[in-house]
A = this chain, B = another copy of it.
Amino acid sequence: MLSKETLTKLFPDWEDGLYDAILNVAELKEAKAGTTLLKMGQNIKSAMLVVEGTIKLYQEDETGGEYFMYHLNPGEACAVTLVCNYHHEQSQVLAKAVTDIQYLAIPIEFMEKWLNEFKSWHYFVIKTYRSRYEELLKTIHEIAFKNMDERLEFYILKFVKQFGAIVNLTHQDIANDLNTSREVISRLLKKMEHNGWIIMNRNSFDWIKK
């Protein structure tokens, strides 16, 4: 059950009335690791705030390709779902649960209302957009200017920052996230192994650079 204590810990900057509003209208939902929470083109019915676990945000191609952009952690929100002026607004991103997660679903009817009502909500929305905008800039920087070896390194570093130095991903997982093929990732990881940046195991490797 969702408590006010949990909320104050997750969202320390909010005003009191906002916690009450959330408790009234938000639904606490759960999802298993691997679940797709939001598909591209899907109508957005509710805002999504992360309570527990980690979500990965992707850009998705019509032909099935995916490109990983950033992680969402507890206390963070999916930016695209926060401002839906018009109903039937469609998602431009793909969101997947990486771990088992808990999240708050708030019907989008309240978004416009809360922007008027709660100053701290307003700030939260702006803060969210600003930080995600910056993540997208970084993503563009990597794809536009870097080769796959550097992009792979950035990718691994993002993972390590999130989950620690034991990277339990298969080569295929990584290839999917970077919209390339397993062979390419395998060869580049071999190089990193030769350079002494990683120690490879089956289903995982350890990041030991520096």
Using a CB–CB cutoff of 8 Å, the interface residues on chain A facing chain B are: 59, 61, 63, 65, 67, 69, 79-80, 83, 92-93, 115-116, 119, 122-123, 125-126, 129-130, 132-134, 136-137, 139-141, 143-145, 179
Which chain B residues lie closer than 8 Å to A119 at the CB level?
Answer: 116
Copies of this chain, complex-wide, total: 2
Interface of chain A, helix or strand or loop or mixed?
helix
Q: A83-B130, A122-B122 are in contact. List 9 more A-B contacts (CB 8 A).
A: A59-B141, A63-B145, A79-B130, A92-B134, A92-B137, A132-B133, A133-B136, A136-B140, A140-B143
Q: By the criterion CB–CB under 8 Å, are B129 and A123 in contact?
A: no
Given A123-B115, A145-B67; A140-B79 close (CB under 8 Å): no
Closest to A61 in B: B145
Given A67-B144, A126-B125, A144-B143, answer yes or no on A137-B59 (Cβ-Cβ < 8 Å). Answer: yes
Name A92's closest neighbour in chain B (CB-CB). Answer: B137
